[in-house]
Protein backbone atom coordinates (compact mmCIF):
# COMPACT_ATOMS: atom_id res chain seq x y z
CA UNK A 1 0.00 0.00 0.00
CA UNK A 2 1.47 3.34 -1.00
CA UNK A 3 0.91 6.02 1.53
CA UNK A 4 1.11 9.79 1.38
CA UNK A 5 4.31 10.48 3.37
CA UNK A 6 3.18 13.79 4.85
CA UNK A 7 -0.01 12.16 6.11
CA UNK A 8 2.03 9.43 7.75
CA UNK A 9 4.24 12.05 9.34
CA UNK A 10 1.29 13.94 10.78
CA UNK A 11 -0.53 10.82 11.90
CA UNK A 12 2.47 9.22 13.50
CA UNK A 13 3.36 12.43 15.34
CA UNK A 14 -0.05 12.48 16.96
CA UNK A 15 0.35 8.74 17.42
CA UNK A 16 3.66 9.15 19.21
CA UNK A 17 2.21 11.80 21.49
CA UNK A 18 -0.62 9.48 22.38
CA UNK A 19 1.80 6.64 22.81
CA UNK A 20 3.94 8.74 25.13
CA UNK A 21 0.86 9.39 27.25
CA UNK A 22 -0.10 5.78 27.05
CA UNK A 23 3.35 4.63 28.07
CA UNK A 24 3.44 7.09 30.91
CA UNK A 25 0.21 5.53 32.18
CA UNK A 26 1.24 1.92 32.66
CA UNK A 27 4.77 2.68 33.83
CA UNK A 28 3.42 5.19 36.30
CA UNK A 29 1.31 2.32 37.56
CA UNK A 30 4.37 0.12 38.15
CA UNK A 31 6.13 2.96 39.98
CA UNK A 32 2.99 3.69 42.01
CA UNK A 33 2.63 0.07 43.10
CA UNK A 34 6.34 0.03 43.97
CA UNK A 35 6.00 3.21 46.04
CA UNK A 36 3.00 1.85 47.90
CA UNK A 37 4.92 -1.30 48.80
CA UNK A 38 7.94 0.70 49.95
CA UNK A 39 6.09 3.47 51.82
CA UNK A 40 3.22 1.58 53.42
CA UNK A 41 5.39 0.22 56.29
CA UNK A 42 5.76 3.84 57.50
CA UNK A 43 2.10 3.82 58.52
CA UNK A 44 1.56 0.17 59.44
CA UNK A 45 1.39 0.14 63.25
CA UNK A 46 1.62 -3.57 64.03
CA UNK A 47 2.23 -7.08 62.79
CA UNK A 48 -1.50 -7.54 62.41
CA UNK A 49 -1.58 -4.86 59.69
CA UNK A 50 1.46 -6.32 57.94
CA UNK A 51 -0.36 -9.61 57.87
CA UNK A 52 -3.50 -8.11 56.33
CA UNK A 53 -1.56 -6.21 53.67
CA UNK A 54 0.56 -9.26 52.83
CA UNK A 55 -2.70 -11.16 52.27
CA UNK A 56 -3.86 -8.34 50.00
CA UNK A 57 -0.65 -8.58 47.95
CA UNK A 58 -0.90 -12.38 47.68
CA UNK A 59 -4.55 -12.29 46.60
CA UNK A 60 -3.85 -9.41 44.21
CA UNK A 61 -1.21 -11.55 42.50
CA UNK A 62 -3.77 -14.29 41.85
CA UNK A 63 -6.43 -11.80 40.74
CA UNK A 64 -3.94 -10.11 38.41
CA UNK A 65 -3.45 -13.44 36.64
CA UNK A 66 -7.20 -14.08 36.52
CA UNK A 67 -7.73 -10.60 35.09
CA UNK A 68 -5.30 -11.33 32.22
CA UNK A 69 -7.61 -14.22 31.33
CA UNK A 70 -11.02 -12.68 32.09
CA UNK A 71 -10.52 -8.96 31.67
CA UNK A 72 -8.17 -8.96 28.69
CA UNK A 73 -8.73 -12.22 26.79
CA UNK A 74 -12.40 -12.31 27.84
CA UNK A 75 -12.46 -15.96 28.97
CA UNK A 76 -14.15 -16.72 32.28
CA UNK A 77 -12.77 -19.12 34.89
CA UNK A 78 -14.74 -20.18 37.95
CA UNK A 79 -12.12 -22.72 38.98
CA UNK A 80 -9.07 -20.58 39.50
CA UNK A 81 -8.67 -21.53 43.14
CA UNK A 82 -7.76 -24.97 41.78
CA UNK A 83 -4.44 -23.55 40.56
CA UNK A 84 -4.06 -21.59 43.81
CA UNK A 85 -4.54 -24.88 45.67
CA UNK A 86 -1.97 -26.69 43.51
CA UNK A 87 0.60 -24.03 44.41
CA UNK A 88 -0.37 -24.25 48.09
CA UNK A 89 -0.22 -28.05 48.31
CA UNK A 90 2.99 -28.24 46.28
CA UNK A 91 4.96 -26.49 49.04
CA UNK A 92 3.23 -28.67 51.65
CA UNK A 93 3.57 -32.05 49.93
CA UNK A 94 6.96 -31.64 48.23
CA UNK A 95 9.10 -31.19 51.36
CA UNK A 96 6.93 -33.51 53.50
CA UNK A 97 6.66 -36.52 51.19
CA UNK A 98 9.40 -36.14 48.59
CA UNK A 99 12.01 -34.38 50.68
CA UNK A 100 12.50 -31.63 48.09
CA UNK A 101 13.42 -28.13 49.18
CA UNK A 102 10.54 -25.68 49.53
CA UNK A 103 11.98 -23.57 46.71
CA UNK A 104 11.96 -26.51 44.31
CA UNK A 105 8.43 -27.41 45.45
CA UNK A 106 7.32 -23.84 44.77
CA UNK A 107 8.71 -23.90 41.23
CA UNK A 108 7.32 -27.40 40.74
CA UNK A 109 3.85 -26.28 41.84
CA UNK A 110 3.88 -23.39 39.40
CA UNK A 111 5.05 -25.70 36.62
CA UNK A 112 2.43 -28.34 37.40
CA UNK A 113 -0.36 -25.74 37.47
CA UNK A 114 0.84 -24.37 34.13
CA UNK A 115 1.05 -27.85 32.65
CA UNK A 116 -2.41 -28.78 33.92
CA UNK A 117 -3.83 -25.54 32.47
CA UNK A 118 -2.15 -26.41 29.16
CA UNK A 119 -3.65 -29.91 29.06
CA UNK A 120 -7.13 -28.99 30.36
CA UNK A 121 -7.25 -25.68 28.49
CA UNK A 122 -6.99 -27.21 25.02
CA UNK A 123 -10.39 -28.90 25.10
CA UNK A 124 -12.34 -26.57 27.40
CA UNK A 125 -11.32 -23.21 25.91
CA UNK A 126 -13.32 -24.13 22.83
CA UNK A 127 -16.36 -23.54 25.01
CA UNK A 128 -17.76 -20.06 25.36
CA UNK A 129 -19.55 -18.03 28.02
CA UNK A 130 -21.64 -20.02 30.49
CA UNK A 131 -20.36 -23.33 29.14
CA UNK A 132 -16.76 -22.35 29.77
CA UNK A 133 -17.77 -21.11 33.23
CA UNK A 134 -19.29 -24.49 34.09
CA UNK A 135 -16.31 -26.43 32.68
CA UNK A 136 -13.77 -24.39 34.68
CA UNK A 137 -16.01 -24.72 37.74
CA UNK A 138 -15.89 -28.50 37.34
CA UNK A 139 -12.11 -28.40 36.98
CA UNK A 140 -11.76 -26.41 40.21
CA UNK A 141 -14.10 -28.74 42.11
CA UNK A 142 -12.14 -31.79 40.93
CA UNK A 143 -8.84 -30.37 42.10
CA UNK A 144 -10.29 -29.46 45.52
CA UNK A 145 -11.78 -32.94 45.78
CA UNK A 146 -8.40 -34.59 45.18
CA UNK A 147 -6.83 -32.60 48.05
CA UNK A 148 -9.69 -33.39 50.38
CA UNK A 149 -10.05 -37.12 49.48
CA UNK A 150 -6.41 -38.22 49.29
CA UNK A 151 -6.26 -38.33 53.07
CA UNK A 152 -3.22 -40.62 53.11
CA UNK A 153 -0.96 -37.88 51.79
CA UNK A 154 -2.89 -34.63 52.38
CA UNK A 155 -4.54 -35.48 55.70
CA UNK A 156 -7.85 -34.63 54.01
CA UNK A 157 -10.16 -31.83 55.14
CA UNK A 158 -8.15 -31.34 58.35
CA UNK A 159 -5.29 -29.88 56.36
CA UNK A 160 -1.56 -30.25 56.86
CA UNK A 161 1.35 -28.15 58.06
CA UNK A 162 3.64 -26.44 55.56
CA UNK A 163 7.40 -26.39 56.29
CA UNK A 164 8.81 -22.86 56.36
CA UNK A 165 10.80 -21.46 53.49
CA UNK A 166 14.51 -21.04 54.13
CA UNK A 167 17.08 -18.80 52.48
CA UNK A 168 20.78 -19.26 53.35
CA UNK A 169 19.78 -20.77 56.69
CA UNK A 170 17.28 -17.98 57.48
CA UNK A 171 13.72 -19.05 58.09
CA UNK A 172 11.40 -16.86 56.07
CA UNK A 173 8.39 -16.45 58.31
CA UNK A 174 6.36 -13.73 60.00
CA UNK A 175 4.16 -10.98 58.57
CA UNK A 176 6.95 -8.45 57.92
CA UNK A 177 9.07 -10.90 55.90
CA UNK A 178 6.08 -12.00 53.88
CA UNK A 179 4.98 -8.43 53.40
CA UNK A 180 8.22 -7.82 51.51
CA UNK A 181 8.25 -11.10 49.58
CA UNK A 182 4.66 -10.71 48.38
CA UNK A 183 5.04 -6.95 47.82
CA UNK A 184 8.11 -7.31 45.60
CA UNK A 185 6.42 -10.19 43.75
CA UNK A 186 3.33 -8.07 43.15
CA UNK A 187 5.45 -5.27 41.68
CA UNK A 188 7.17 -7.78 39.38
CA UNK A 189 3.82 -9.37 38.48
CA UNK A 190 2.39 -5.93 37.67
CA UNK A 191 5.43 -5.12 35.55
CA UNK A 192 5.09 -8.31 33.49
CA UNK A 193 1.32 -7.82 33.06
CA UNK A 194 1.71 -4.20 31.96
CA UNK A 195 4.43 -5.16 29.47
CA UNK A 196 2.37 -7.99 28.07
CA UNK A 197 -0.74 -5.87 27.54
CA UNK A 198 1.22 -3.29 25.54
CA UNK A 199 2.82 -5.97 23.33
CA UNK A 200 1.55 -7.75 20.19
CA UNK A 201 0.50 -10.62 22.47
CA UNK A 202 -1.61 -8.25 24.58
CA UNK A 203 -3.23 -6.76 21.49
CA UNK A 204 -4.03 -10.26 20.25
CA UNK A 205 -5.70 -11.15 23.58
CA UNK A 206 -7.77 -7.96 23.64
CA UNK A 207 -8.77 -8.52 20.00
CA UNK A 208 -9.99 -12.05 20.83
CA UNK A 209 -12.11 -10.58 23.62
CA UNK A 210 -14.03 -8.34 21.17
CA UNK A 211 -14.22 -10.56 18.06
CA UNK A 212 -12.69 -14.00 17.68
CA UNK A 213 -13.83 -13.96 14.07
CA UNK A 214 -11.94 -10.79 13.16
CA UNK A 215 -8.89 -11.84 15.20
CA UNK A 216 -8.68 -15.09 13.23
CA UNK A 217 -9.02 -13.35 9.87
CA UNK A 218 -6.11 -11.07 10.83
CA UNK A 219 -3.88 -14.11 11.36
CA UNK A 220 -4.19 -14.56 15.13
CA UNK A 221 -4.24 -18.21 16.19
CA UNK A 222 -7.18 -17.74 18.55
CA UNK A 223 -6.97 -21.15 20.27
CA UNK A 224 -3.25 -20.71 20.94
CA UNK A 225 -3.59 -17.25 22.49
CA UNK A 226 -6.52 -18.28 24.70
CA UNK A 227 -4.41 -21.18 25.92
CA UNK A 228 -1.49 -18.85 26.58
CA UNK A 229 -3.70 -16.58 28.72
CA UNK A 230 -5.06 -19.60 30.60
CA UNK A 231 -1.60 -21.03 31.33
CA UNK A 232 -0.24 -17.63 32.35
CA UNK A 233 -3.14 -16.97 34.72
CA UNK A 234 -2.71 -20.45 36.20
CA UNK A 235 0.97 -19.76 36.98
CA UNK A 236 0.10 -16.44 38.69
CA UNK A 237 -2.52 -18.31 40.71
CA UNK A 238 -0.17 -21.14 41.70
CA UNK A 239 2.58 -18.73 42.77
CA UNK A 240 0.09 -16.84 44.93
CA UNK A 241 -1.12 -20.16 46.38
CA UNK A 242 2.43 -21.21 47.30
CA UNK A 243 3.03 -17.87 49.04
CA UNK A 244 -0.26 -18.19 50.90
CA UNK A 245 0.58 -21.64 52.26
CA UNK A 246 4.17 -20.75 53.13
CA UNK A 247 3.02 -17.58 54.90
CA UNK A 248 0.29 -19.36 56.85
CA UNK A 249 2.33 -22.46 57.64
CA UNK A 250 -0.78 -24.56 57.19
CA UNK A 251 -2.99 -25.55 54.27
CA UNK A 252 -6.49 -27.02 53.96
CA UNK A 253 -8.50 -28.02 50.85
CA UNK A 254 -10.36 -24.70 51.23
CA UNK A 255 -7.35 -23.14 49.50
CA UNK A 256 -8.61 -24.77 46.28
CA UNK A 257 -12.29 -24.47 47.14
CA UNK A 258 -15.21 -23.10 45.20
CA UNK A 259 -15.67 -20.14 47.56
CA UNK A 260 -12.13 -18.99 46.95
CA UNK A 261 -12.64 -19.22 43.17
CA UNK A 262 -15.68 -17.01 43.52
CA UNK A 263 -13.74 -14.59 45.73
CA UNK A 264 -11.09 -14.18 43.02
CA UNK A 265 -13.76 -13.49 40.39
CA UNK A 266 -15.49 -10.98 42.69
CA UNK A 267 -12.17 -9.20 43.36
CA UNK A 268 -11.49 -8.97 39.61
CA UNK A 269 -15.01 -7.73 38.75
CA UNK A 270 -15.29 -5.35 41.73
CA UNK A 271 -11.89 -3.78 41.04
CA UNK A 272 -12.47 -3.71 37.30
CA UNK A 273 -12.08 -6.29 34.54
CA UNK A 274 -9.32 -5.33 32.16
CA UNK A 275 -7.70 -3.05 34.74
CA UNK A 276 -4.41 -4.05 36.32
CA UNK A 277 -4.81 -1.51 39.11
CA UNK A 278 -8.37 -2.80 39.53
CA UNK A 279 -7.04 -6.26 40.42
CA UNK A 280 -5.10 -4.79 43.33
CA UNK A 281 -7.94 -2.51 44.47
CA UNK A 282 -10.46 -5.38 44.27
CA UNK A 283 -8.24 -7.65 46.35
CA UNK A 284 -7.60 -4.87 48.89
CA UNK A 285 -11.30 -4.14 49.37
CA UNK A 286 -12.34 -7.75 49.75
CA UNK A 287 -9.56 -8.50 52.26
CA UNK A 288 -9.60 -5.27 54.27
CA UNK A 289 -13.34 -4.59 54.39
CA UNK A 290 -14.26 -7.72 56.40
CA UNK A 291 -11.55 -6.77 58.93
CA UNK A 292 -12.96 -3.25 59.20
CA UNK A 293 -16.52 -4.49 59.45
CA UNK A 294 -15.95 -6.69 62.50
CA UNK A 295 -17.45 -3.81 64.54
CA UNK A 296 -20.83 -4.89 63.14
CA UNK A 297 -20.40 -8.31 64.79
CA UNK A 298 -23.22 -10.61 63.62
CA UNK A 299 -24.23 -8.31 60.77
CA UNK A 300 -20.74 -8.20 59.26
CA UNK A 301 -21.61 -10.24 56.17
CA UNK A 302 -24.85 -8.37 55.53
CA UNK A 303 -23.00 -5.05 55.52
CA UNK A 304 -20.24 -6.46 53.30
CA UNK A 305 -22.84 -7.71 50.81
CA UNK A 306 -24.66 -4.39 50.80
CA UNK A 307 -21.44 -2.44 50.21
CA UNK A 308 -20.58 -4.69 47.26
CA UNK A 309 -24.03 -4.22 45.73
CA UNK A 310 -23.78 -0.44 46.12
CA UNK A 311 -20.32 -0.45 44.49
CA UNK A 312 -21.59 -2.38 41.49
CA UNK A 313 -24.68 -0.18 41.09
CA UNK A 314 -22.75 3.09 41.11
CA UNK A 315 -19.53 1.84 39.51
CA UNK A 316 -20.88 -0.78 37.09
CA UNK A 317 -17.61 -1.26 35.16
CA UNK A 318 -15.71 -1.97 38.35
CA UNK A 319 -14.19 0.58 40.70
CA UNK A 320 -11.05 1.58 38.79
CA UNK A 321 -12.37 1.77 35.19
CA UNK A 322 -15.54 3.60 36.30
CA UNK A 323 -13.60 6.20 38.29
CA UNK A 324 -11.10 6.63 35.43
CA UNK A 325 -13.96 7.28 33.01
CA UNK A 326 -15.42 9.92 35.36
CA UNK A 327 -12.06 11.65 35.70
CA UNK A 328 -11.67 11.73 31.92
CA UNK A 329 -15.15 13.20 31.46
CA UNK A 330 -14.46 15.91 34.01
CA UNK A 331 -11.19 16.83 32.31
CA UNK A 332 -12.77 17.31 28.87
CA UNK B 1 -2.00 -18.02 -12.73
CA UNK B 2 -5.28 -16.86 -11.20
CA UNK B 3 -4.90 -15.47 -7.71
CA UNK B 4 -8.24 -17.00 -6.77
CA UNK B 5 -9.99 -19.91 -8.37
CA UNK B 6 -13.32 -21.16 -7.09
CA UNK B 7 -14.43 -24.39 -8.71
CA UNK B 8 -17.82 -26.03 -8.46
CA UNK B 9 -18.56 -24.89 -4.90
CA UNK B 10 -21.55 -26.51 -3.23
CA UNK B 11 -22.74 -25.99 0.33
CA UNK B 12 -26.07 -26.31 2.12
CA UNK B 13 -27.54 -25.68 5.54
CA UNK B 14 -30.02 -28.34 6.58
CA UNK B 15 -32.23 -28.91 3.56
CA UNK B 16 -31.42 -25.53 2.08
CA UNK B 17 -28.89 -25.34 -0.75
CA UNK B 18 -26.97 -22.09 -0.34
CA UNK B 19 -24.43 -22.50 -3.14
CA UNK B 20 -24.58 -24.90 -6.06
CA UNK B 21 -21.83 -25.28 -8.62
CA UNK B 22 -20.38 -21.77 -8.35
CA UNK B 23 -17.12 -21.32 -10.25
CA UNK B 24 -14.99 -18.37 -11.27
CA UNK B 25 -11.41 -17.15 -11.50
CA UNK B 26 -9.97 -13.86 -10.37
CA UNK B 27 -6.79 -12.50 -11.96
CA UNK B 28 -4.13 -10.59 -10.00
CA UNK B 29 -4.78 -6.87 -9.62
CA UNK B 30 -8.38 -6.81 -10.79
CA UNK B 31 -11.49 -5.57 -9.01
CA UNK B 32 -13.99 -8.40 -9.15
CA UNK B 33 -17.53 -7.98 -7.87
CA UNK B 34 -20.01 -10.63 -6.77
CA UNK B 35 -23.59 -9.38 -6.91
CA UNK B 36 -27.03 -10.88 -6.61
CA UNK B 37 -30.40 -10.38 -4.94
CA UNK B 38 -30.80 -10.93 -1.20
CA UNK B 39 -30.23 -14.56 -0.26
CA UNK B 40 -28.28 -15.30 -3.43
CA UNK B 41 -25.42 -16.75 -1.39
CA UNK B 42 -22.88 -13.93 -1.65
CA UNK B 43 -21.81 -13.81 1.98
CA UNK B 44 -21.89 -17.62 2.16
CA UNK B 45 -19.48 -17.63 -0.77
CA UNK B 46 -17.19 -15.22 1.07
CA UNK B 47 -17.36 -17.39 4.18
CA UNK B 48 -16.32 -20.41 2.13
CA UNK B 49 -13.42 -18.57 0.48
CA UNK B 50 -12.18 -17.13 3.79
CA UNK B 51 -12.28 -20.50 5.56
CA UNK B 52 -15.21 -19.91 7.92
CA UNK B 53 -17.30 -22.59 6.16
CA UNK B 54 -16.10 -25.83 4.64
CA UNK B 55 -17.93 -26.49 1.37
CA UNK B 56 -19.72 -29.79 0.78
CA UNK B 57 -18.03 -30.03 -2.60
CA UNK B 58 -15.73 -28.01 -4.80
CA UNK B 59 -12.37 -26.38 -4.21
CA UNK B 60 -10.91 -22.99 -3.41
CA UNK B 61 -7.45 -22.31 -4.88
CA UNK B 62 -5.41 -19.37 -3.65
CA UNK B 63 -2.62 -18.61 -6.14
CA UNK B 64 -2.87 -22.21 -7.35
CA UNK B 65 -2.78 -23.75 -3.89
CA UNK B 66 -5.74 -25.75 -2.60
CA UNK B 67 -6.94 -23.97 0.55
CA UNK B 68 -10.43 -25.48 0.83
CA UNK B 69 -11.43 -25.45 4.50
CA UNK B 70 -8.12 -23.96 5.69
CA UNK B 71 -8.78 -21.99 8.93
CA UNK B 72 -8.83 -18.18 8.59
CA UNK B 73 -5.66 -17.51 10.59
CA UNK B 74 -3.68 -19.72 8.19
CA UNK B 75 -5.28 -18.11 5.15
CA UNK B 76 -4.10 -14.77 6.51
CA UNK B 77 -0.53 -16.07 6.28
CA UNK B 78 -1.16 -16.98 2.64
CA UNK B 79 -2.23 -13.42 1.89
CA UNK B 80 -6.00 -13.40 2.20
CA UNK B 81 -7.88 -10.89 4.33
CA UNK B 82 -11.47 -9.71 4.51
CA UNK B 83 -13.97 -7.32 6.04
CA UNK B 84 -17.39 -8.20 7.39
CA UNK B 85 -20.89 -7.16 6.34
CA UNK B 86 -21.97 -6.95 9.97
CA UNK B 87 -19.00 -5.19 11.52
CA UNK B 88 -16.46 -7.16 13.54
CA UNK B 89 -14.68 -4.26 15.23
CA UNK B 90 -12.56 -4.48 18.39
CA UNK B 91 -14.82 -2.00 20.15
CA UNK B 92 -12.81 -1.73 23.37
CA UNK B 93 -9.64 -0.78 21.53
CA UNK B 94 -8.82 2.55 19.90
CA UNK B 95 -9.05 2.95 16.13
CA UNK B 96 -5.29 2.77 15.69
CA UNK B 97 -5.03 -0.28 17.96
CA UNK B 98 -7.58 -2.02 15.74
CA UNK B 99 -5.26 -1.51 12.78
CA UNK B 100 -2.21 -2.46 14.85
CA UNK B 101 -3.79 -5.86 15.51
CA UNK B 102 -3.75 -6.33 11.73
CA UNK B 103 0.07 -6.17 11.84
CA UNK B 104 0.15 -9.33 13.97
CA UNK B 105 1.71 -11.57 11.32
CA UNK B 106 4.39 -9.00 10.53
CA UNK B 107 5.50 -8.68 14.14
CA UNK B 108 7.93 -10.84 16.06
CA UNK B 109 5.79 -12.80 18.46
CA UNK B 110 8.22 -13.96 21.12
CA UNK B 111 6.11 -13.98 24.28
CA UNK B 112 9.13 -14.06 26.61
CA UNK B 113 10.41 -10.83 25.05
CA UNK B 114 6.93 -9.36 25.50
CA UNK B 115 6.97 -10.14 29.24
CA UNK B 116 9.95 -7.89 29.76
CA UNK B 117 9.38 -5.31 26.98
CA UNK B 118 12.86 -5.67 25.60
CA UNK B 119 13.96 -2.58 23.62
CA UNK B 120 13.28 -4.50 20.41
CA UNK B 121 9.63 -4.89 21.43
CA UNK B 122 9.26 -1.18 22.14
CA UNK B 123 10.90 -0.37 18.82
CA UNK B 124 8.60 -2.79 17.04
CA UNK B 125 5.55 -1.24 18.75
CA UNK B 126 6.63 2.14 17.36
CA UNK B 127 6.97 0.74 13.83
CA UNK B 128 3.61 -1.00 14.06
CA UNK B 129 1.94 2.19 15.25
CA UNK B 130 3.53 4.26 12.47
CA UNK B 131 2.41 1.76 9.84
CA UNK B 132 -1.13 1.73 11.27
CA UNK B 133 -1.19 5.54 11.28
CA UNK B 134 -0.32 5.52 7.58
CA UNK B 135 -3.21 3.18 6.81
CA UNK B 136 -5.63 5.29 8.86
CA UNK B 137 -4.54 8.22 6.69
CA UNK B 138 -5.34 6.20 3.55
CA UNK B 139 -8.93 5.64 4.67
CA UNK B 140 -9.24 9.18 6.06
CA UNK B 141 -9.38 8.34 9.75
CA UNK B 142 -6.20 10.01 11.03
CA UNK B 143 -8.16 12.28 13.35
CA UNK B 144 -9.89 9.34 14.99
CA UNK B 145 -6.67 7.38 15.66
CA UNK B 146 -6.79 7.51 19.45
CA UNK B 147 -10.56 7.43 19.90
CA UNK B 148 -12.16 4.22 21.18
CA UNK B 149 -13.47 2.37 18.13
CA UNK B 150 -16.82 1.96 19.92
CA UNK B 151 -17.38 5.70 19.72
CA UNK B 152 -16.95 6.02 15.92
CA UNK B 153 -19.85 6.37 13.47
CA UNK B 154 -20.87 3.49 11.21
CA UNK B 155 -19.28 4.78 8.03
CA UNK B 156 -15.96 5.30 9.81
CA UNK B 157 -16.04 1.75 11.17
CA UNK B 158 -16.53 0.41 7.63
CA UNK B 159 -13.34 2.20 6.58
CA UNK B 160 -11.57 1.14 9.78
CA UNK B 161 -12.21 -2.50 8.85
CA UNK B 162 -10.65 -1.88 5.44
CA UNK B 163 -7.57 -0.28 7.02
CA UNK B 164 -7.28 -3.18 9.46
CA UNK B 165 -7.52 -5.76 6.67
CA UNK B 166 -4.88 -3.85 4.66
CA UNK B 167 -2.52 -3.96 7.64
CA UNK B 168 -2.03 -7.68 6.99
CA UNK B 169 -0.64 -6.75 3.54
CA UNK B 170 -3.03 -9.09 1.71
CA UNK B 171 -2.55 -10.24 -1.86
CA UNK B 172 -6.30 -10.78 -2.03
CA UNK B 173 -8.79 -8.64 -0.15
CA UNK B 174 -12.44 -9.63 0.23
CA UNK B 175 -14.77 -6.72 0.96
CA UNK B 176 -18.23 -7.72 2.16
CA UNK B 177 -20.59 -4.82 1.36
CA UNK B 178 -18.09 -2.03 2.05
CA UNK B 179 -20.67 0.68 1.25
CA UNK B 180 -23.66 -0.81 3.08
CA UNK B 181 -25.26 1.75 5.36
CA UNK B 182 -23.03 4.55 4.07
CA UNK B 183 -24.35 7.87 2.74
CA UNK B 184 -23.40 8.97 -0.82
CA UNK B 185 -20.40 10.99 0.40
CA UNK B 186 -19.02 8.06 2.38
CA UNK B 187 -19.69 5.72 -0.55
CA UNK B 188 -17.68 8.08 -2.76
CA UNK B 189 -14.79 7.93 -0.29
CA UNK B 190 -14.88 4.13 -0.20
CA UNK B 191 -14.93 4.07 -4.00
CA UNK B 192 -11.68 6.06 -3.99
CA UNK B 193 -10.11 3.83 -1.33
CA UNK B 194 -10.91 0.64 -3.27
CA UNK B 195 -9.42 2.02 -6.48
CA UNK B 196 -6.31 3.06 -4.57
CA UNK B 197 -5.97 -0.43 -3.09
CA UNK B 198 -6.31 -2.07 -6.51
CA UNK B 199 -3.85 0.42 -8.03
CA UNK B 200 -1.14 -0.87 -5.69
CA UNK B 201 -1.58 -4.42 -6.96
CA UNK B 202 -3.84 -5.89 -4.30
CA UNK B 203 -6.63 -7.92 -5.86
CA UNK B 204 -10.06 -6.92 -4.60
CA UNK B 205 -13.13 -9.14 -4.58
CA UNK B 206 -16.23 -7.39 -3.29
CA UNK B 207 -19.83 -8.15 -2.53
CA UNK B 208 -21.92 -5.02 -2.84
CA UNK B 209 -25.53 -3.93 -3.16
CA UNK B 210 -24.81 -0.41 -4.34
CA UNK B 211 -25.05 -1.01 -8.11
CA UNK B 212 -23.66 2.40 -9.04
CA UNK B 213 -20.51 1.66 -7.04
CA UNK B 214 -20.21 -1.85 -8.50
CA UNK B 215 -20.71 -0.77 -12.11
CA UNK B 216 -18.24 2.09 -11.70
CA UNK B 217 -15.24 0.29 -10.21
CA UNK B 218 -15.49 -3.41 -11.10
CA UNK B 219 -13.52 -4.93 -13.93
CA UNK B 220 -15.68 -8.02 -14.01
CA UNK B 221 -18.92 -8.89 -12.28
CA UNK B 222 -20.15 -12.33 -11.23
CA UNK B 223 -23.92 -12.57 -10.69
CA UNK B 224 -25.39 -15.12 -8.27
CA UNK B 225 -29.04 -16.00 -7.89
CA UNK B 226 -30.33 -18.59 -5.45
CA UNK B 227 -26.87 -20.07 -5.04
CA UNK B 228 -26.15 -20.49 -8.77
CA UNK B 229 -24.12 -18.53 -11.25
CA UNK B 230 -26.41 -16.42 -13.40
CA UNK B 231 -23.97 -14.41 -15.44
CA UNK B 232 -20.41 -13.13 -15.52
CA UNK B 233 -18.63 -10.42 -17.44
CA UNK B 234 -18.03 -6.70 -17.74
CA UNK B 235 -20.42 -4.20 -16.21
CA UNK B 236 -21.81 -3.55 -19.68
CA UNK B 237 -22.44 -7.21 -20.43
CA UNK B 238 -24.02 -7.98 -17.06
CA UNK B 239 -26.32 -4.96 -17.21
CA UNK B 240 -27.68 -6.09 -20.58
CA UNK B 241 -28.12 -9.73 -19.59
CA UNK B 242 -31.88 -10.44 -19.52
CA UNK B 243 -31.42 -13.17 -16.91
CA UNK B 244 -29.80 -10.65 -14.55
CA UNK B 245 -32.49 -8.06 -15.08
CA UNK B 246 -35.11 -10.74 -14.50
CA UNK B 247 -33.49 -11.87 -11.26
CA UNK B 248 -33.40 -8.34 -9.91
CA UNK B 249 -36.70 -7.00 -11.15
CA UNK B 250 -38.75 -10.18 -11.61
CA UNK B 251 -39.25 -12.17 -14.83
CA UNK B 252 -41.95 -9.94 -16.30
CA UNK B 253 -39.96 -6.79 -15.84
CA UNK B 254 -37.05 -8.63 -17.45
CA UNK B 255 -38.95 -9.34 -20.65
CA UNK B 256 -40.34 -5.82 -20.68
CA UNK B 257 -36.83 -4.45 -20.34
CA UNK B 258 -35.81 -6.53 -23.31
CA UNK B 259 -38.74 -5.20 -25.30
CA UNK B 260 -37.84 -1.68 -24.32
CA UNK B 261 -34.36 -2.11 -25.81
CA UNK B 262 -35.67 -3.22 -29.17
Q: What is the CATH number of the domain that holds B249?
A: 3.40.50.300
Residues near B163 by Cβ (< 8 Å), separated by ≥ 6? B98, B99, B102, B132, B135, B136, B138, B139, B141
Tally of domains within chain B: 2
Q: Does pLDDT of A279 surpass 60?
A: yes
pLDDT of residue B54: 93
Q: How far is A92 from chain B (nearest CA, A)?
A: 29
In a shared domain, residues B112 and B240: no
Share of chain B above pLDDT 70, in %: 95
What is the residue range of B138's domain? 88-169
pLDDT in tens, B150-202: 999 988 999 999 999 999 999 999 999 988 888 888 888 888 999 999 999 99
In a shared domain, residues B125 and B210: no
Query: What ranges do the domains of chain A cover?
Result: 48-258
Which of B169, B194, B220 is the last residue before a domain boundary?
B169
| Rounded to 5°, angle at Cα B217 from B214 and B222 | 50
Q: Does pLDDT of B128 surpass 80?
A: yes
What pLDDT band is residue A2 in, cutting at 50, 70 and 90?
very low
Using a CB-CB cut-off of 8 Å, the residues of chain A touching B102 are: 218
In a shared domain, residues B55 and B162: no
pLDDT of residue B230: 87
In a shared domain, residues B1 and B59: yes
Inform me whether the C-beta atom of residue A99 falls under 8 Å from chain B C-beta atoms: no
DSSP state of B38: T
Q: Does pLDDT of A282 surpass 70?
A: yes
Q: How far is B262 from chain A (nearest CA, A)?
A: 46
pLDDT in tens, B94-123: 999 999 999 999 998 888 888 888 888 889
DSSP state of B2: -
From A233, A190, A181, select the one nearest A62 (Cα to Cα).
Answer: A233
Q: How far is B172 from chain A (nearest CA, A)?
A: 12
Residues near A170 by Cβ (< 8 Å), separated by ≥ 6? none
pLDDT of residue A214: 96
Q: What is the pTM of this model?
A: 0.90
ipTM: 0.90
In a shared domain, residues B130 and B156: yes
pLDDT of residue A250: 95
- SS3 (DSSP) at B60: strand
Which of B107, B137, B169 is the last residue before a domain boundary?
B169
Q: Please, which residues 199-238 of chain A have a Cβ atom closer than 8 Å to chain B?
A: 199-204, 206-207, 209-211, 213-222, 228
Residues near B25 by Cβ (< 8 Å), separated by ≥ 6? B2, B4, B5, B6
Amino acid sequence: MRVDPSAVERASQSGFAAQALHRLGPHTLIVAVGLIVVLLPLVLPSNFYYRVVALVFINALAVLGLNLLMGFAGQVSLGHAGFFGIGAYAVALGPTHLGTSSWLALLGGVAIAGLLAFVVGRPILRLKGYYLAVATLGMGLLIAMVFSNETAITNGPNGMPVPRLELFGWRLSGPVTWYWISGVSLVLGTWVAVNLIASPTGRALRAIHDSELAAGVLGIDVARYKLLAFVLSATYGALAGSYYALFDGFVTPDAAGFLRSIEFVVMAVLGGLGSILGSIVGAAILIILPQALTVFHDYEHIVLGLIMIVFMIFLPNGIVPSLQARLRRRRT
Amino acid sequence: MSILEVSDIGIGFGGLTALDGVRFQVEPGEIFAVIGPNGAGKTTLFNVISGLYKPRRGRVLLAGRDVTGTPPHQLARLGLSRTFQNLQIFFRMTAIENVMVGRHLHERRNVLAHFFTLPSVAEQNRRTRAHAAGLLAVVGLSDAADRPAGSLPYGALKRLEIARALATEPKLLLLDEPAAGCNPVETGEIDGVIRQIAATGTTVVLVEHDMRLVMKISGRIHVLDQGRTLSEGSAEKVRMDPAVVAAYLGARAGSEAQHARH
